A and B are shown apart, each in its own frame.
Chain A
């Protein structure tokens, strides 16, 4: 298991207490799970993705990740409509383990991009992880 200081938590992302990350790219928000989450889960063997066009509120479950250890729900960091899913994960779910930031899961058109400001920055997320320990 990685020590907290070994975790790769990029500064330019925002995070949730459920261990998702989000990044604004133009008009869409890219969503994945953090290095901490992939390390805790172990090898991911299956990703259940939503359909493009599905709409969700912030905090809604939008899919599941199955690792060797557990089945975990994925929660959307902000509300919006799914504009793309990472179909590469169907054949290679291990991409999330290899690089959880390159191995994105969905892209969404946010209802309000301003909602991103309500999420945690790197320090805020790190504080949650320290509290988890």
Chain B
């Protein structure tokens, strides 16, 4: 079992540890997952995400190799005008197998010139390198797997920028023109455009995350990880809470973000809430060919994946006997994720979050009980708003097929607005 450099900190602080992607990671700390989940919605949380893998691509053939293997069209991907990816920007997409099934989801960072960084899930660094080399042919690309050679801390929640500003050498400079899905700096000292912490640690600061909330991912050398983690906790004081994988899972499910190899996996990457990762033009035709594109274009029988929200915190454990039924009891498919978003509750026809405003209908002293949410994979199309039954063969829970789950998410809010939080 692998450990991140923060392992000692986690165990010393009585985290409930569990295996994830061959790493021993914290599930939650003694304050409990509800405080962690709601802390990220109301102020800020930090997550040890050093189990994730980064791969560096260098050389004149990088862009061509990524265009061939990554679902996003890097020449048509930024903003409403679909501008080309340029240095300082990053995009979410998928690496597919030729069958159209998911190898992994990833964020591709254009570092500078002929240098890119690809961030994939725990344990996927080697698999991505093998996959890229398979399709490299004569392209000039040097592929370096940074698995376990790079640390990462995610700071997420509305107070992230004000807390981070406390440890940054030049926060004003770092936070200027810093839109969602952009990044600055590099985690080596040789960088031309650097972002430094007050103690001199160079970081790559990325305005991304996996919670649906405003925040950053901080990439840094593993030997700086524990110090930076502790600095953030000290500076954040009561506004910051260390968070484990359970809160990460419930936050991302409420934000309708997939967990790779659970919500996307060994079936065609189609008919799901994340097809924005595919390079469709306005007519719904792919703007480029890529590994897996042919399989996706000829797949009328591909299953459909939908987000759902329940009517209470009740959920169904996923196991051998779990399945999705229609209200008449007919089998429709499988439950992919089922968790509880603890920051939300239904009021009438609406879902209200702790982050919702009074105008949105949030009552005074709102103390949500939470709603079950997650994803189902079914054989046929189901209209949004329709109800289905989740069961483990023993218990039954009725849920609603939804386009979205947790309202009032902060991920895309302007940084300048969040500096006041």
Binding site for B on A (CB under 8 A): 1-2, 39-40, 42-43, 45-46, 48, 64, 66, 68-71, 91, 94, 97
Instruction: Please give me the residue from chain B that is nearest to A68 by CB atom.
Output: B33
Those 7 A-B pairs whose CB atoms lie nearest each other, nearest first: A45-B313, A43-B32, A68-B33, A43-B34, A1-B16, A46-B313, A71-B317
8 Å CB contact of A46 from B14, B27, B32, B314: B314
Q: Are B313 and A69 in contact (CB under 8 A)?
A: no
Would you mind naming 12 contact pairs between A and B with Cβ atoms under 8 Å apart?
A1-B14, A1-B17, A42-B27, A43-B32, A43-B33, A45-B34, A45-B313, A45-B369, A46-B314, A66-B314, A68-B28, A71-B317
Q: Is B15 an interface residue (CB 8 A)?
A: yes
Complex alpha-carbon distance, A33 and B339, angstroms: 22
Complex alpha-carbon distance, A43 and B16, angstroms: 12
Complex alpha-carbon distance, A42 and B342, angstroms: 13
Complex alpha-carbon distance, A123 and B362, angstroms: 50
Closest Cβ of chain A to B394, distance in Å, is 9
Chain A residues whose C-beta falls within 8 Å of the C-beta of B69 in the assembled complex: none
Q: Are B340 and A64 in contact (CB under 8 A)?
A: no
Beyond A39-B16, A66-B315, A94-B32, list 11 extra A-B contacts (CB 8 Å).
A42-B28, A42-B33, A42-B246, A45-B313, A45-B340, A46-B314, A64-B395, A66-B340, A68-B342, A70-B317, A71-B395
Chain B residues whose C-beta falls within 8 Å of the C-beta of A64 in the assembled complex: 395
Q: Given that A1-B15, A1-B17, A43-B33 are known contacts, is A68 also in contact with B395, CB under 8 Å in the complex?
A: no
**Residue interface mask B84-126, A partner, CB < 8 A = 1:** 0000000000000000000000000000000000000000000
Instruction: Please give me the residue from chain A that is nearest to B392 by CB atom.
Output: A71
Closest Cβ of chain A to B396, distance in Å, is 12
Complex alpha-carbon distance, A43 and B17, angstroms: 15
Q: Is B370 an interface residue (CB 8 A)?
A: yes
8 Å CB contact of A69 from B246, B316, B369, B392: B246
Instruction: Please give me the residue from chain B that is nearest to A41 by CB atom.
Output: B16
